[in-house]
Structure 1
Amino acid sequence: MTEKRMNQLLNARRQLKDTSPLIHCITNPISINDCANAVLAVGARPIMAEHPGESAEITASASALAVNLGNITDARMESMLLSGHKARALSLPRIIDVVGVSCSKLRLEYAKRWIAECAPSIIKGNLAEIRMLCGENILSSGIDASDQDQLSQNNLLVRIASAKQLAKKTGSVILASGKTDLITDGKEVFLVDNGCSKMARLTGTGCMLNVLTGAFLSVLPPLSAALFTAAFLGICGEEADTETGMGSFHVRLMDQLDVISDETLQRRAKIIEYSKEECL
């Protein structure tokens, strides 16, 4: 990553703390508390309203919208569409986390509808979920990506090509999370290799990535928001990883979201930009 882009991202972090934008997060009850606290930790203000009677009104007062298909319900599906339509009408930045589209036809069809009608700034999912949106066959079960669905030297260029095609088709930045995150707007392609194994063992880290990206989306363009948040959360995970157990890791991760230094972010960021020739 260039020094200019890194400075842009670090300035955005300060801007977020200075302006405290309201972020409307329609997420699931499994991770809702951690999501709210993560947004607060970076300086933004979360509101988690999901009643269909008020969701669009709440979205209209927010600076960004983040929706999540985890633990889906009829009411939340209705609210996410209403809020997505409102965000699009007001040109508010918006992100969808396509949780579970790789294991549920209901979620897959709904995600396709939401993307078509609400035109998200960013589509976020693990690599299996992103591949499912591309119409590919996957090997994963449940909401987790299998080892075969992770990026490798053998499949890297194919996975990049699919993600770029989806970005061009939808007009959205694609954030495919995993051991290595893949981010593309259909032209530029980045790989982020930050994070630790404990993050995959803590419920809700993917949901936290979604709402944190929504927060940074309020002060950054979509590609930069996705890129910075993937590196930011991954580095926080690395800094939180000690020899202690998962409970301590959970608390330390929240601490790092609040106190991690710019110097640490600059030093530990592992971001690779792929050239157009490499991505053909």
Structure 2
Amino acid sequence: MNTEGLGTCLDNVRKASPLVHCITNYVTVNDCANAVLAIGASPIMSDEPDDVEDITSICAGLDLNIGTLNHRSIDGMDHAAAKAASLGHAIVLDPVGAGASKLRTETAKHLLDTYHPQLVRGNMSEIRALGGASASTRGVDVSAADAATEENLSEAAAFVAGLAKAWKCTVAVTGAIDIVSDGKRTSAIRNGVSLMGRITGTGCMLSAMLPAFLAANDDVYVASVAGISMMGICGEKARSRMAGEDGTGSFRTYLIDALSNIQGKELVASAKVADL
């Protein structure tokens, strides 16, 4: 992929400053809001069924994150997704913990099949569970048995591309190696650091930011690669700042700093994206 377009995607987010409706994990909601603000977009959080249709109507994108499900939030997601779909807004589905419980898996499948999100982003265990493939589960974390590695990358990429074709959307599997496919184009992204998996919410933050990338850009696949590459690069920048007794708390702060400071030209220069 020509990475020049990735920087333009980020620049477009900052120019458009889209409003993003997040129905997200209450464990990570504050970090999600701050991440969206850091990249120049604006977040609004609501999962109340009587509120969400009005809220999503004034937004440009919708984040559906099933990390902390309850029956009210499921009802809220249904109302918001129906409204967003009717308006042609960008919808991102994050099937957090799919495969860990019947409720999570069935809710994610319902949202996917009914509202046809433009992007589905999760770890490989979640995506395999959502796709009906056998998957190991460690709750909301990817199982080592499912993770994409250099050794199984071709097989993993073919699986993701197949789901993208079947679901008629872009599918992003994030992990040590990220895989993004729209069924026609597939890329591997090798940005990021392992420390990102030691703080809660990096995946939720990414899913909250991605509707802004989709709303501000025409090509869902390229916009998704841009947002995912940006997150990995910012993880690298945050890790490089750590010194002395800095730990995961400092890393979390440095990550938000990096998101607020990264520029399009830096994204172009640092993105490690390879076509598959």
TM-score with structure 2 setting the length: 0.95
The residue that corresponds to 1:96 in the other structure is 93
The residue that corresponds to 2:186 in the other structure is 189
Unaligned runs of 5+ in 2: none
Q: In 1, distance between residues paired with 2:212 and 2:198?
A: 24
Runs of 4+ in structure 1 deviating by more than 6 angstroms, as ranges, are none
Alignment of 1:271 with 2:257, yes or no, is no
User: SS of 1:141's equivalent?
Assistant: coil
1:54 Cα offset (Å): 1.1
For the aligned residues, what is the CA RMSD? 1.2
Q: Is the 8 A contact 2:199 2:252 kept in 1?
A: yes
Q: Is the 8 A contact 2:92 2:117 kept in 1?
A: yes
1:56 Cα offset (Å): 1.4
CA offset digits 1:247-268 (Å, max 9, x no partner): 1111110100011233432222
User: 1:212 pairs with 206, 209, 212, which one?
Assistant: 209
The residue that corresponds to 1:177 in the other structure is 174
1:169 Cα offset (Å): 1.3
Q: In 2, distance between residues paired with 1:14 and 1:272?
A: 22
Q: In 1, distance between residues paired with 2:4 and 2:110?
A: 37
Q: In 2, distance between residues paired with 1:18 and 1:207?
A: 23
The amino acid of 1:209's aligned partner reads: L
User: SS of 1:249's equivalent?
Assistant: helix
Alignment of 1:157 with 2:154, yes or no, is yes
The amino acid of 1:255's aligned partner reads: D
Q: Point out the more displaced range, 194-203 or 14-23.
A: 14-23
The amino acid of 1:42's aligned partner reads: I
Q: In 1, distance between residues paired with 2:251 and 2:223?
A: 25
| Percent identity of paired positions between Structure 1 and Structure 2 | 37
The residue that corresponds to 2:257 in the other structure is 255
The residue that corresponds to 1:130 in the other structure is 127
Unaligned runs of 5+ in 1: 275-280
TM-score with structure 1 setting the length: 0.93
The residue that corresponds to 1:61 in the other structure is 58
Q: Is the 8 A contact 1:25 1:48 kept in 2?
A: yes
> Number of aligned pairs?
271
Q: Is the 8 A contact 1:193 1:270 kept in 2?
A: yes
Q: Is the 8 A contact 2:62 2:211 kept in 1?
A: yes
The amino acid of 1:236's aligned partner reads: C
1:110 Cα offset (Å): 1.0
Q: In 1, distance between residues paired with 2:150 and 2:8?
A: 34
Q: In 1, distance between residues paired with 2:155 and 2:16?
A: 40
Q: In 2, distance between residues paired with 1:215 and 1:77?
A: 22
Alignment of 1:147 with 2:144, yes or no, is yes
